[in-house]
Chains A and B, each alone.
Chain A
């Protein structure tokens, strides 16, 4: 690359620089006045994880695959009456506790990807900071609330 490394008297570069800043002085800044105005993040943005408790079968795949071990799951087996008379009672897993500790979570998305039952979804919500770190552990109920904020998947490039 041939760039001129020399310094010549009228110092043209210095004046060009000053002209550049003067032009910038009169341009409108691109500042967004958060929190009065909020930018909308992309639909795929990884903000918070939401849980659909009806779909969860307590298979524990997400807790196993999490690199940080931040998902805490407890469940028990329940007897459900047989679907037709004369059959044997089936056992169904019931979810007792499903906590995600967002203070540990590194937002990698492995849990959402490995879930075979459509129970976990990404949502672009990001405003859930707390003053106490224990509040960053979101229990089952709070995770279900995030389900309302999950957007439609974006249309694809044709």
Chain B
């Protein structure tokens, strides 16, 4: 019965010469996750060659960083991968902290952990809504986004912003509302009712994961569209530099939260989700399970968070001493790192961003060769990249 839905082999007679058609899956397209252009040579419905053309969203982050202070850059780096905003701020701030030798207090690190995991849930819920939509199932879109609103409300109650929290400061998180004598006393700690709201929100998130299991994961039509499609073997995944759920779905057990934690992940109990096989269905299932694991982490972190100050003592005008550092962290999409070269001034000399989606996208020409057009959409969706991350 499993052969029912596998691709039927069609033999084409060699005498019939049909030239390939060049199809421009253009920058404006409903399912390219942004402005990605794929120049595809298509033979009927089969793709023979694909060339991704990127750069439509290049905003010049690395050049911008040369003329902005570290405080201003903190407000800007969460816009690189806007779906997982906080998780892009954390490695930047930790890199600056390593250069200056300041360490964040316990409570600040736990707050960073909670916010990172909330953003992980938010990013994977966006995947849950957009991936079935690309395959044609239109209902999970609304259900996943409905629960994401609760998570975004939580983030807004703590930081003030839904997508761009701008909550990290060198030496911890934002301690007070302002710099004046009155506003210095208004602490930006977790507001009252946060723990109860978080428990309620996590319950709803876990409930919607179960609903999505009913509607999407067990659905035979989804399995027919994603099982056996776009298989990435483990060695190819490592060769192309994939990371995150894409890598773990191919069977490689590598999670930066366990390997190189920059936040107190060793004090929280969670599993690294891997799957064997590396096809689109495995990548989908990995992300669904990661939502559950992230909810588990948040619920544990709420119990374990210690009391304490929100920021270490930091001079008013921050001059970072000379040096170089590379810090990487587990973005919801994979490995996200910053390489900072500092010459001792208020602004970085050079900021290099190792973005996840750029490396995840590099596998497309190899992976899409010989696939059918509808499978192109399924595969691109399962890699879950964001163009802002690719082009910076």
Contacts and interface: CB of A to CB of B under 8 A. Distances in A.
Q: Which of A108, A116, A120 has the most CB of B within 10 A?
A: A108
B75 A108 contact: yes
Interface of A: 1, 3-9, 11-14, 16-17, 19-21, 24, 30, 41-46, 55, 65, 67, 106-110, 112-122, 153-158
Category for how many chain B residues contact A: 35 or more
Contacts of A109: 75, 160, 166
A44 B5 CA distance: 52
B224 to A, nearest CB: 7
A7 B153 CA distance: 39
Q: Which 5 A-B residue pairings sit nearest by Cβ, starting from the closest?
A: A118-B180, A108-B75, A13-B218, A42-B157, A67-B72
Contacts of A107: 161, 164
B1 A8 contact: yes
Interface of B: 1-2, 4-5, 68-69, 71-72, 75-76, 139, 143, 146, 153, 156-161, 164, 166, 174, 177-183, 186-195, 211, 214-224, 227, 273-275, 277, 281-282, 285-286, 289
30 contacts: A1-B275, A1-B282, A1-B285, A3-B281, A6-B1, A7-B223, A9-B1, A12-B218, A13-B219, A13-B222, A16-B214, A21-B215, A24-B139, A44-B158, A44-B160, A44-B191, A65-B71, A67-B68, A107-B161, A108-B76, A108-B164, A110-B71, A110-B75, A116-B180, A118-B181, A122-B160, A155-B191, A155-B192, A156-B191, A157-B195
A55 B180 CA distance: 10
A120 B220 contact: no
A17 to B, nearest CB: 5
Contacts of A20: 211, 214-215
B160 A17 contact: no
